[in-house]
């Protein structure tokens, strides 16, 4: 059963035929909200809004460990993370959908491992390739079937938030090799790896990053909702095709 984590712009999954909601108690505290179970095109799926159902939990206060543990506890076979991001690379425009392939982590102070309890052996996980290639391939294939363009590959910079970045910070991220900037990609991805959960991200470009394009002199928040509404509709269609058509595989 695939699990979908929704971010800004995707606080509900309207094409999920809901059967029930379940409050999950975890050893790491409360998840962002009850896990929603149901079916998409007759296939089981689960959904969790990263920022809570009222979008009240800022990125640095999300209980990532509880969220990922709850999905793993309910036997998720993979996790699709949906998030809005800023575009740094010049060819990335608002409304574009990107499947990133790498992460640079600039966050701090977040609980980022399950292996830190008293008496827990030191445990290292390989994180060379942070996203699951097979799951990313299935997402690409679903988009191709629907004729929905998605850009494959991009380096995601995870920043602390909740404030957006300065233009100078974006310049630095670009020098570091980042193509996109968001606030929730870590530690979510590495926690999934520690749990053995295949993990892939669908990123929607909500705006040009600070100092770039239409955001050269500031982020125009009034335009974000319209951009996200249209793009997230396409993301829902991709998820519906992916979950509902089990024969879609990596191409």
* β-strand partners of 105: 158
Q: What is the CATH number of domain 2-244?
A: 3.40.50.1580
Residue with tokens 């102070």: 109
Sign of CA dihedral 97, 99, 105, 111: positive
Q: Please answer whether residues 204 and 95 qualify as being in contact, where contact means their C-beta atoms are separated by less than 8 angstroms.
A: yes
pLDDT at site 246:
61
Residue-by-residue pLDDT tens, the chain, 251 positions: 999 998 766 766 777 888 899 999 999 999 999 999 999 888 899 999 999 988 899 999 999 999 999 999 999 999 999 999 999 999 999 999 999 999 999 999 999 999 987 788 888 999 999 999 999 999 999 999 999 999 999 999 999 999 999 999 999 999 999 999 999 999 999 999 999 999 999 999 999 999 998 888 888 887 788 888 889 899 999 999 999 876 655 44
Q: Residue ranges per domain, the chain?
A: 2-244
Residue with tokens 């800023």: 86
DSSP string, 175-209: HHT-SEEESSSTTHHHHHHHHT--EEEEEEEEEEP
Give 3-state DSSP helix, strand, coil % of the chain, rounded to 5.
30, 25, 45
Q: Please answer whether residues 203 and 98 qualify as being in contact, where contact means their C-beta atoms are separated by less than 8 angstroms.
A: yes
Element (H, E) at 172: helix 167-176
User: What is the rounded radius of gyration, in angstroms, for the C-alpha atoms of the chain?
Assistant: 17
pTM over 0.85: yes
């Amino acid at each position: 059963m695939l699990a979908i984590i929704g971010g800004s712009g995707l606080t509900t999954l309207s094409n999920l035929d809901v059967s029930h909601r379940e409050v999950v108690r975890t050893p790491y505290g409360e998840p962002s909200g009850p896990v929603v179970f149901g079916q998409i095109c007759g296939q089981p799926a689960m959904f969790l809004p990263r920022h809570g159902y009222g979008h009240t939990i800022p990125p640095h206060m999300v209980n990532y460990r509880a969220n990922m543990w709850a999905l793993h506890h309910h036997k998720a076979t993979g996790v699709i993370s949906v998030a809005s991001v800023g575009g740094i690379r010049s060819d990335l425009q608002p409304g574009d959908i990107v499947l990133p392939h790498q992460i640079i982590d600039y966050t701090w102070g977040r609980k980022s491992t399950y292996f830190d309890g008293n008496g827990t052996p030191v445990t290292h996980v390989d994180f060379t390739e942070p996203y699951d290639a097979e799951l990313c391939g299935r997402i690409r294939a679903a988009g191709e079937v629907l004729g929905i363009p998605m850009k494959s590959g991009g380096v995601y910079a995870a920043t602390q938030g909740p404030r957006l970045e300065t233009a100078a910070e974006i310049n630095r991220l670009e020098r570091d090799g980042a193509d996109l900037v968001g606030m929730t990609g870590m530690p979510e991805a590495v926690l999934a790896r520690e749990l053995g959960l295949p993990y892939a991200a669908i990123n929607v470009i909500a705006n040009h990053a600070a100092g770039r394009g239409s955001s050269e002199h500031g982020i125009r928040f009034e335009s974000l909702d319209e951009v996200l509404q249209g793009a997230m509709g396409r993301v829902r269609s991709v998820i519906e095709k992916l979950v509902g058509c089990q024969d879609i595989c990596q191409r």
